[in-house]
Amino acid sequence: MKIEKITLYLVKMELKHPFRTSFGVTKERDILLVSIQSGDKIGWGECVAEHGPWYSGETITSCKHVISEYIIPWLKKNEIEHPNQYPDLIHKIKGNHMAKACVEDAIWDLYGKLEEKSLRDLIGGEKDTIPSGISLGIQQDFGTLLEKIQNAIEQKYKRVKIKIEPGWDVEIVKKIRDQYPNLDLMVDANSAYRLKDEEIFQALDKYNLMMIEQPLQSYDIMDHVKLQKKLSTPICLDESIKSVDDARIAIEYDACKIINVKPSRVGGISETLKIHELADLLKIPLWCGGMLETGIGRAKNVSVASLSTFTLPNDISESARYYTNYLIEPIFKLTKNGTIDVPTKLPGIGVAIKNEEIEKNLKEKIEL
Residues marked as catalytic: 163, 262
Q: Could you tell me how many helices (H) and strands (E) the chain has, helices first?
A: 13, 15
Nearest CB to ligand OSB, comparing residues 90 and 186? 186
Mark 171-210 with x for binding to Mg ion (rule: CB under 5 A) and - for no binding. Answer: -----------------x----------------------
Decide if residue 357 touches ligand OSB (CB under 6 A): no
Output the smallest distance, CB 187 to Mg ion, in A: 10
Decide if residue 292 touches ligand OSB (CB under 6 A): yes
Nearest CB to ligand OSB, comparing residues 103 and 192? 192
Nearest CB to ligand OSB, comparing residues 71 and 340? 340
Decide if residue 215 touches ligand OSB (CB under 6 A): no
Decide if residue 313 touches ligand OSB (CB under 6 A): no
Q: What's the start-to-end Cα distance of the chain, in Å? A: 17
Decide if residue 291 touches ligand OSB (CB under 6 A): yes
Sign of CA dihedral 323, 325, 328, 333: positive
Decide if residue 315 touches ligand OSB (CB under 6 A): yes
* Cα separation, 185 vs 356, whole angstroms: 39
* Cα separation, 173 vs 116, whole angstroms: 47
Among 50, 105, 223, 238, binds Mg ion (CB under 5 A): 238
Cis geometry, peptide bond prior to residue 313 (ω within 30 degrees of 0) = no
Output the smallest distance, CB 76 to ligand OSB, in A: 32
Task: Please state whether 338 falls in left (phi above 0), alpha (psi between -120 and 50) or beta.
Answer: left
Residue 291 interacting entry, from ligand OSB, Mg ion, none, C-beta within 5 to 8 Å by type: ligand OSB
Decide if residue 46 touches ligand OSB (CB under 6 A): no
* Cα separation, 193 vs 47, whole angstroms: 28
Nearest CB to Mg ion, comparing residues 109 and 188? 188
Decide if residue 55 touches ligand OSB (CB under 6 A): yes
Nearest to 313 by CA among 344, 334, 327: 334
Distances, alpha carbon 53 to alpha carbons 21, 23, 60, 62, in Å: 14, 10, 9, 9
Distances, alpha carbon 294 to alpha carbons 14, 170, 327, in Å: 11, 32, 7
Decide if residue 109 touches Mg ion (CB under 5 A): no
Nearest to 262 by CA among 251, 273, 248, 272: 272
Question: 80 φ, ψ to 5°?
Answer: -120, 150
Cα angle: 259, vertex 264, 268; to 5 degrees: 95
Residue 132 interacting entry, from ligand OSB, Mg ion, none, C-beta within 5 to 8 Å by type: none
Touching ligand OSB, residues 226-245 (CB under 6 A): 238
Decide if residue 22 touches ligand OSB (CB under 6 A): no
Among 65-73, 177-185, 288-296, 359-367, which window interacts with ligand OSB (CB under 6 A)? 288-296
* Residues in touch with ligand OSB (CB under 6 A): 21, 55, 135, 188, 190, 238, 289-292, 315, 317
Residues that bind Mg ion (CB under 5 A): 188, 213, 238
